[in-house]
Amino acid sequence: MPKARTNKVVVLKKKLIERIESDYFKPGDRFFSNRYIEERFGVSYQTAFRITRELSEEGYLYLVPSSGAYIAGERDEILGVSFYFQDRARRQGSFGNRLLEGIKKELKRSDIKYRVHFIEKGEQVEIDENYYPVLWETAHLLDAIIDSRKYCLLLNERSKPGLSSTFVDSITIDDFSGGVTAAELIEQRKNIKYPAVLSGPSNDLRNIARVQGFLSKYPDAVVYHADSWYFEEGYVQASILYLNPVDSVFCCNDRLASAVVSYIEDNNKKRVPVIGFDDAPISEAMNIATIAIPWEGLVNLSADIIKK
């Protein structure tokens, strides 16, 4: 005669069914592993295995050999990828454009369909049904995506902490470390007394991290703020920057760096070390030292997450 099931096991199975039937899981989501159930709920591995098997037999889960247990039910078919990129990504050679084109190239190799939406700053749009969202500088769309319980990929930005991070994968570079590296490169020139920073928009989190990284080495550096990442505003700020003593300049992107170098050449100003950030094509064309973003790794990792 089989041993009667303890109340603890009965309650645990009921609790797991309640979890499955809640709004937390969607069909196709990975369920708890047997090892997790064992450790989290204080039962033996054999008991966890038996409960998982029963939940599969009763239609709550389906089991994939060598992979685990997944939530049963009809899954939404994913037809492809929808890119939601800030409108600046239209510009050839810009960070967003370079990132978008690199990922598109990888997706084409795998015959993955995609759509591209260029979004104005703060613009709200409807999210494509049955397409996996990939966002660059359009994080304001996250709430709508999460409310619809979609998974998504956020590029070059960290997801917000909390429950929403359950649905958001994010890839970003270490901007603070990049700012530190720029400062260390300038430090090698010796006898630097008047370092300056030409930053991008003051409310941009990546920009803030780059500036803070540089200031961690040169806390007394003077910071000049451009209202955009573009050449025109950088050129204006370069003219202001040169009203004061300066013997080195860290620019928070390569277009700003190209503006400083152009201002120096156009006005016969004293040449000083200028370091950019991004490794954009303009830095190669103008022979500007720059903090290089690992483009290949960034693109390949993004593509791998999308394919998965």
pLDDT single digits (tens) 109-142: 999 999 999 999 889 999 998 899 999 999 889 8
Closest of 265, 296, 254, 298 to residue 91, by C-alpha:
254
Query: Does residue 244 have a pLDDT over 90?
Result: yes
pLDDT at 4: 62
Contact 47, 9 (CB under 8 A): yes
Q: What is the pTM of this model?
A: 0.68
What is the pLDDT averaged over residues 239-264? 95
Measured N-to-C along each axis, helices 7-21 and 45-57 cross at an angle, to the nearest 10 degrees, of: 50
Distance of CA 131 to the CA centre of its chain: 19
> What is the number of other CB atoms lying within 10 angstroms of the CB of residue 45?
12
